[in-house]
Structure 1
Amino acid sequence: MSDRRNFIKKAALGTVGISAILSCDKSVETKSEITGSTEISKGSKPIIISTWNHGLPANEETWKQLKEGKPTVDAIVAGMNIPEADPKVRSVGYGGFPDREGKVTLDACIMDHNSNCGSVSFLQGIKHPISVAKKVMQNTPHVMLVGEGAFQFALSEGFKEENLLTAEAEKDWKNWVEESKYKPVINMENHDTISMLVVDKDGNISGGCTTSGAAWKMHGRVGDSPIIGAGLFLDNDIGAAAATGLGEAVLRTAGSAMVVELMRQGKSPYEACKEIVERIYAKHKNHKDMEYLQVGFIAVNKKGEHAGYSLRSGFNYAVADEKSGNRMEDASFKMSWDD
């Protein structure tokens, strides 16, 4: 664990250069002296928020699509297709770490401002699960399809079966098999989900999640990411939230739905994320996985105010808006990995 913790401490989490697409001079943030995070944000619309540094290229493509007048859900799918297709992103789509049997299984969900939603889980052989989730939402009477049923549906919709296990991921899996020790560490090395929340220029909210799940998980395991109300939830009258980290902890607490409910009660995105992280901590402080537990939330309200908060240090997220461009922001956190 010491190597992981040292890596986190030394990781570069600062602001990055903005995209020319956003036509801004520089990124401007108000930082907390304690954690380096943005605790209070001024409302901005349109705004895109997505987890981790692979959110930057996803935000850029989503922003481009929005500027071209594409529907928000289509823009989200186009943006999230970027990390799904990138073999260097080891926790999403193609190139993602496999389960303990060496099989890459994918989860995704999407939700629009009318509360229409679609989801796939335990999907194999299809590179873009977020695209399949959109088809579930649009072309079926259901919310979720899983496993072989999700795969057959994807084929019927024109998706092609592909081998998602890259040579690099296979090598890492074979190295893991030598010891076969499972530790669900979610940090800068194992980024887990990419979740995205979007408030468009009209104030309508949509969101999505896509992931290959925890590395070396049991075959058949499904985390929070494809579950509406856990990995993602929104109410267009209030706001939206999405999670990253150990899915089991988010599932036990209906995390994202609870963040939205707290915003309904009048709490800011920051206050809502913080309270649910505190709740997760209280529920898990004596849990067997506490040594490795990391959970983070991003949230945005109807005004376009946003925030992130995590249990442990090391969580950051990408934000794109008209004023400050496409940049990384560091989440506030309850504790460091050394606590």
Structure 2
Amino acid sequence: MLLFLCVATFLTVTGHSLANDLTDTAGPVTDREIILDLQRRLAVIETQQTVYVTRISDLEQRQQNDHQIIADLVSHRNLDQKRISDLDNHLETEKSRVSDLKDQLKRAQRLISKFSAYESQINDMKRTANLDKNLTSSKRQLVDIGNRQENEDSQYDVQTLDLPENPAMDIFLPVEQGRKLNPVLDGSISRHPAKEDTPLARVAEPSGNPDVIAFHAYLSFDYNRASTHMEIRFDRVTTNVGHGYSGHTGTFTCPSSGVYMFTWTVCIQSHFITTELIRNGAAIAAGFSGDTDYRSVGTSVTLVELNQNDEVWVRVDTYNAIPAAGHIIGNPGLTSFSGFKVR
């Protein structure tokens, strides 16, 4: 059809052209010459038609390529929109974590203020304890002096050491009859009537076993979203013999040097979490919980040698980097921390 239209157009144009040519030609034109001229012009038209068809094919191919590029751009746009949505969700999660950290910081500041007051009280108690130790040492020295005097003399008067700092502890010191006391101690000793077979000096020691140290505490609430190196504060204390553990901080402060056994259990909602046992800021043992899509627990046990005033606590190490991970379950006592002195 296209070829027919082109030929018709050509004949119309060439008709006028032939007419003009015939009018310009001096002699008559034969039919053969007209047919030859038409065939020549028709060949030119066919050649141009081939060129146009080739160009149309190229344009159609370019159109298909443009459609493919547009489809790829639409796909990339959808991916970018999904990434933006994921980033928005992550931003909200981080904002929530920042808010939790701010709350924890405020609690920590309040605890630091309380601990400063407690530390002052503890220092006062330590000074009092040191004074008691010095007092006991002085009394024992006086007992040794009395024993030496007993070996030298045969007759004694019973002397009582008057120490008002701790009147519950009495020391009976034998002194030779008629002999003056040491002038350094003379002001603190009062005389009693002479007695025979008076028992030697004795010091009353407090009852109880200070070497028994043990504690147990558990978590009474949930950590909805744990963070790396976050200390787990086991706040409900059920046993605290020796008063080494603090439910306010989740830290055990060693009352006396020795070998201790620690065990901790962590329950999580899903996925996995790893924990560490920390001594004075350095990790000494590790624990693992989970690696499933359901609630699970993990328990770890370790032995460690501690010095007095060493601090031990449990903290989070790593967990799945997805929003659903890091949920630690506390109530009713599924996450706990225990320890006791072995020797």
TM over 0.5: no
Q: Which has the higher strand share?
A: 2
TM-score, scaled to structure 2? 0.25
Instruction: Name which structure has the greater RCO, CA cutoff 8 Å, separation 6+.
Output: 1
Q: Which has the higher helix share?
A: 2
The structure with more radius of gyration: 2
TM-score, scaled to structure 1? 0.25
